Amino acid sequence: MSRSVLIIGGNRGIGHSTVRAFLERGDKVAFTHRSSGADPDLAYLGALPVLCDITDPEQVESAFKEVEADQGPVEVLVANAGITRDKLLLRMSEEDFTTVLETNLIASYRLAKRATWSMVKAKQGGRIILVSSAVALKGEAGQTNYAASKAGLIGFGRSLAREVGSRGITVNIVTPGLTDTAMAAALPETRVNEIIGDVPLGRIGRPEEIAATIAFLASEEASYITGAVVPVDGGISMGH
Protein backbone atom coordinates (compact mmCIF):
# COMPACT_ATOMS: atom_id res chain seq x y z
CA MET A 1 0.00 0.00 0.00
CA SER A 2 1.37 3.39 -1.02
CA ARG A 3 2.11 5.74 1.88
CA SER A 4 2.79 9.46 2.20
CA VAL A 5 6.50 9.84 2.99
CA LEU A 6 8.40 13.02 3.84
CA ILE A 7 12.20 12.94 3.76
CA ILE A 8 14.12 15.89 5.14
CA GLY A 9 17.22 16.82 3.18
CA GLY A 10 16.55 14.61 0.18
CA ASN A 11 18.61 16.45 -2.39
CA ARG A 12 21.86 14.54 -1.96
CA GLY A 13 23.74 11.90 -0.03
CA ILE A 14 21.80 9.65 2.34
CA GLY A 15 18.60 11.62 1.82
CA HIS A 16 18.79 11.30 -1.96
CA SER A 17 19.25 7.53 -1.75
CA THR A 18 16.39 7.31 0.76
CA VAL A 19 14.02 9.12 -1.59
CA ARG A 20 14.85 6.61 -4.30
CA ALA A 21 14.45 3.66 -1.92
CA PHE A 22 10.91 4.69 -0.97
CA LEU A 23 9.96 5.48 -4.57
CA GLU A 24 11.08 1.98 -5.56
CA ARG A 25 8.69 0.61 -2.94
CA GLY A 26 5.79 2.45 -4.54
CA ASP A 27 5.35 5.15 -1.91
CA LYS A 28 4.38 8.77 -2.50
CA VAL A 29 7.51 10.69 -1.57
CA ALA A 30 8.16 14.34 -0.83
CA PHE A 31 11.58 15.71 0.06
CA THR A 32 12.77 19.04 1.39
CA HIS A 33 15.52 21.13 -0.11
CA ARG A 34 16.88 24.59 0.56
CA SER A 35 17.90 27.45 -1.72
CA SER A 36 20.29 25.29 -3.77
CA GLY A 37 17.27 23.98 -5.72
CA ALA A 38 15.69 20.56 -6.02
CA ASP A 39 17.35 17.66 -7.80
CA PRO A 40 15.47 17.41 -11.12
CA ASP A 41 16.15 13.67 -11.34
CA LEU A 42 14.09 12.99 -8.21
CA ALA A 43 11.25 15.16 -9.47
CA TYR A 44 11.37 13.27 -12.77
CA LEU A 45 10.99 10.00 -10.86
CA GLY A 46 7.84 11.34 -9.22
CA ALA A 47 9.06 12.77 -5.92
CA LEU A 48 7.65 16.10 -4.74
CA PRO A 49 10.31 18.75 -4.03
CA VAL A 50 9.41 21.07 -1.14
CA LEU A 51 11.40 24.22 -0.41
CA CYS A 52 11.93 24.41 3.36
CA ASP A 53 14.39 25.81 5.86
CA ILE A 54 13.71 23.49 8.77
CA THR A 55 15.11 26.01 11.27
CA ASP A 56 12.09 28.23 10.49
CA PRO A 57 8.88 26.99 12.21
CA GLU A 58 6.65 28.77 9.68
CA GLN A 59 8.40 27.10 6.75
CA VAL A 60 8.07 23.71 8.43
CA GLU A 61 4.33 24.21 8.83
CA SER A 62 4.01 25.34 5.21
CA ALA A 63 6.00 22.31 4.03
CA PHE A 64 3.70 19.88 5.85
CA LYS A 65 0.63 21.59 4.43
CA GLU A 66 2.08 21.38 0.91
CA VAL A 67 2.80 17.67 1.33
CA GLU A 68 -0.63 17.00 2.84
CA ALA A 69 -2.36 18.76 -0.04
CA ASP A 70 -0.43 16.76 -2.64
CA GLN A 71 -0.16 13.26 -1.15
CA GLY A 72 -2.12 13.19 2.10
CA PRO A 73 -1.03 13.33 5.76
CA VAL A 74 2.55 12.26 6.39
CA GLU A 75 2.69 8.60 7.43
CA VAL A 76 6.48 8.24 7.36
CA LEU A 77 8.90 10.97 8.43
CA VAL A 78 12.65 10.63 7.88
CA ALA A 79 14.50 13.40 9.70
CA ASN A 80 17.81 13.41 7.89
CA ALA A 81 19.08 16.95 8.47
CA GLY A 82 22.71 17.38 9.40
CA ILE A 83 25.35 20.12 9.31
CA THR A 84 28.81 20.35 10.81
CA ARG A 85 30.94 23.21 12.09
CA ASP A 86 33.96 21.27 13.28
CA LYS A 87 36.41 22.91 15.68
CA LEU A 88 38.13 22.02 18.90
CA LEU A 89 36.01 23.20 21.82
CA LEU A 90 38.49 25.88 22.88
CA ARG A 91 38.16 27.46 19.42
CA MET A 92 34.43 26.89 18.99
CA SER A 93 32.18 29.92 19.14
CA GLU A 94 28.78 29.81 20.77
CA GLU A 95 27.28 30.34 17.32
CA ASP A 96 29.14 27.29 15.99
CA PHE A 97 27.64 25.22 18.79
CA THR A 98 24.07 26.52 18.76
CA THR A 99 23.73 26.57 14.95
CA VAL A 100 24.54 22.87 14.73
CA LEU A 101 22.10 22.05 17.54
CA GLU A 102 19.39 24.18 15.94
CA THR A 103 19.61 22.32 12.62
CA ASN A 104 20.41 18.79 13.78
CA LEU A 105 18.38 18.52 16.99
CA ILE A 106 15.89 21.33 17.54
CA ALA A 107 14.60 21.21 13.96
CA SER A 108 14.10 17.45 14.35
CA TYR A 109 11.96 18.12 17.44
CA ARG A 110 9.91 20.54 15.35
CA LEU A 111 9.48 18.08 12.50
CA ALA A 112 8.68 15.11 14.71
CA LYS A 113 6.14 17.11 16.72
CA ARG A 114 4.30 18.18 13.57
CA ALA A 115 4.39 14.68 12.09
CA THR A 116 3.23 13.09 15.34
CA TRP A 117 0.30 15.48 15.55
CA SER A 118 -0.96 14.44 12.11
CA MET A 119 -0.29 10.73 12.75
CA VAL A 120 -2.25 10.78 16.01
CA LYS A 121 -5.08 12.65 14.33
CA ALA A 122 -5.23 10.11 11.49
CA LYS A 123 -5.38 7.21 14.00
CA GLN A 124 -3.51 4.88 11.63
CA GLY A 125 -0.08 4.73 13.23
CA GLY A 126 3.06 5.96 11.56
CA ARG A 127 6.83 5.72 11.31
CA ILE A 128 9.45 8.25 12.41
CA ILE A 129 13.11 7.59 11.64
CA LEU A 130 15.75 9.95 13.00
CA VAL A 131 19.17 9.94 11.35
CA SER A 132 21.81 10.32 14.05
CA SER A 133 25.49 9.33 13.72
CA ALA A 134 28.06 6.87 15.02
CA VAL A 135 29.78 9.96 16.45
CA ALA A 136 26.89 10.20 18.93
CA LEU A 137 27.99 6.85 20.36
CA LYS A 138 31.78 6.99 20.22
CA GLY A 139 32.59 10.70 20.17
CA GLU A 140 35.00 12.52 17.88
CA ALA A 141 37.56 15.24 18.61
CA GLY A 142 36.52 18.52 17.03
CA GLN A 143 32.85 17.56 16.92
CA THR A 144 31.48 18.32 20.38
CA ASN A 145 28.64 20.28 18.80
CA TYR A 146 27.81 17.64 16.20
CA ALA A 147 28.09 14.77 18.69
CA ALA A 148 25.87 16.59 21.19
CA SER A 149 23.21 17.22 18.55
CA LYS A 150 23.23 13.65 17.27
CA ALA A 151 23.35 12.10 20.76
CA GLY A 152 20.39 14.30 21.65
CA LEU A 153 18.41 12.63 18.88
CA ILE A 154 18.84 9.28 20.60
CA GLY A 155 17.39 10.44 23.91
CA PHE A 156 14.69 12.41 22.13
CA GLY A 157 13.71 9.51 19.86
CA ARG A 158 13.60 6.91 22.62
CA SER A 159 11.49 9.17 24.84
CA LEU A 160 9.11 9.91 21.97
CA ALA A 161 8.85 6.19 21.23
CA ARG A 162 7.53 5.67 24.76
CA GLU A 163 5.03 8.51 24.36
CA VAL A 164 3.47 7.41 21.06
CA GLY A 165 3.84 3.63 21.04
CA SER A 166 0.27 3.13 22.22
CA ARG A 167 -0.85 5.05 19.11
CA GLY A 168 0.83 2.56 16.79
CA ILE A 169 3.64 5.00 15.93
CA THR A 170 7.20 3.71 15.95
CA VAL A 171 10.26 5.90 16.44
CA ASN A 172 13.73 4.58 15.62
CA ILE A 173 17.19 6.06 15.30
CA VAL A 174 19.78 5.14 12.65
CA THR A 175 23.45 5.90 13.36
CA PRO A 176 25.49 5.88 10.15
CA GLY A 177 29.27 5.84 10.22
CA LEU A 178 31.42 7.62 7.68
CA THR A 179 29.44 7.50 4.45
CA ASP A 180 30.35 8.41 0.88
CA THR A 181 28.66 11.82 0.84
CA ALA A 182 29.64 15.46 0.40
CA MET A 183 30.26 15.67 4.15
CA ALA A 184 32.89 12.93 3.92
CA ALA A 185 34.34 14.44 0.75
CA ALA A 186 35.07 17.64 2.67
CA LEU A 187 37.43 15.78 5.03
CA PRO A 188 41.17 15.55 4.30
CA GLU A 189 42.09 12.25 2.65
CA THR A 190 44.44 11.42 5.52
CA ARG A 191 41.59 11.76 8.01
CA VAL A 192 39.27 9.60 5.89
CA ASN A 193 41.94 6.90 5.76
CA GLU A 194 42.40 7.10 9.53
CA ILE A 195 38.67 6.59 10.10
CA ILE A 196 38.50 3.70 7.63
CA GLY A 197 41.42 2.14 9.48
CA ASP A 198 39.18 1.91 12.57
CA VAL A 199 36.25 0.37 10.69
CA PRO A 200 36.16 -3.44 11.13
CA LEU A 201 34.76 -3.85 7.61
CA GLY A 202 37.59 -1.68 6.29
CA ARG A 203 35.67 0.64 4.01
CA ILE A 204 33.44 3.68 3.83
CA GLY A 205 29.67 3.20 3.83
CA ARG A 206 27.44 3.74 0.81
CA PRO A 207 24.36 5.98 1.03
CA GLU A 208 22.26 3.14 -0.40
CA GLU A 209 23.13 0.99 2.62
CA ILE A 210 21.85 3.59 5.05
CA ALA A 211 18.73 4.14 2.92
CA ALA A 212 17.93 0.43 2.90
CA THR A 213 17.99 0.34 6.70
CA ILE A 214 15.74 3.40 6.92
CA ALA A 215 13.28 1.86 4.45
CA PHE A 216 13.23 -1.36 6.48
CA LEU A 217 12.46 0.48 9.72
CA ALA A 218 9.52 2.13 7.95
CA SER A 219 8.20 -1.19 6.66
CA GLU A 220 5.49 -3.48 7.97
CA GLU A 221 8.19 -6.07 8.75
CA ALA A 222 9.60 -3.65 11.34
CA SER A 223 6.26 -2.95 13.02
CA TYR A 224 7.46 -4.37 16.37
CA ILE A 225 10.67 -2.33 16.46
CA THR A 226 10.62 1.00 18.27
CA GLY A 227 13.10 2.99 20.33
CA ALA A 228 15.95 1.13 18.62
CA VAL A 229 19.34 2.60 17.83
CA VAL A 230 20.52 0.88 14.66
CA PRO A 231 24.21 1.34 13.74
CA VAL A 232 25.02 1.19 10.03
CA ASP A 233 28.69 1.96 10.41
CA GLY A 234 30.78 -1.06 9.46
CA GLY A 235 31.22 -1.81 13.16
CA ILE A 236 33.13 1.34 14.16
CA SER A 237 30.85 2.11 17.12
CA MET A 238 30.76 -1.48 18.33
CA GLY A 239 30.75 -1.66 22.11
CA HIS A 240 29.44 1.86 22.68
Which positions are catalytic?
146
Instruction: Measure the CA–CA gap between 78 and 30, rounded to whole angstroms.
Output: 10
Please give the Cα distance from 42 to 20 (Å, whole number): 8
Quick one: which of 53, 56, 64 has its CA closest to 117? 64
Please list, residue by residue across 27-54, b when 16 or more beta carbons sit within 10 angstroms of its beta carbon and e when fewer do.
bbbbbbbeeeebbeebeeeebbbbebeb
Q: Name the helix (H) or strand (E) containing 160.
A: helix 144-164
Distance CA(67)–CA(32), nearest Å, equals 10
How many CB atoms neighbour CB 96 within 10 A?
Answer: 16
Listed in sequence order, the DSSP H helices in 28-73 are 40-45, 57-71
Please tell me the total number of residues recorded for the chain in this structure: 240
Residues 6+ positions from 109 with CB-CB distance below 8 Å: 156
- What gap in Å lies between CA 162 and CA 173, rounded to an integer? 14
226 vs 198: CA distance, rounded Å: 29
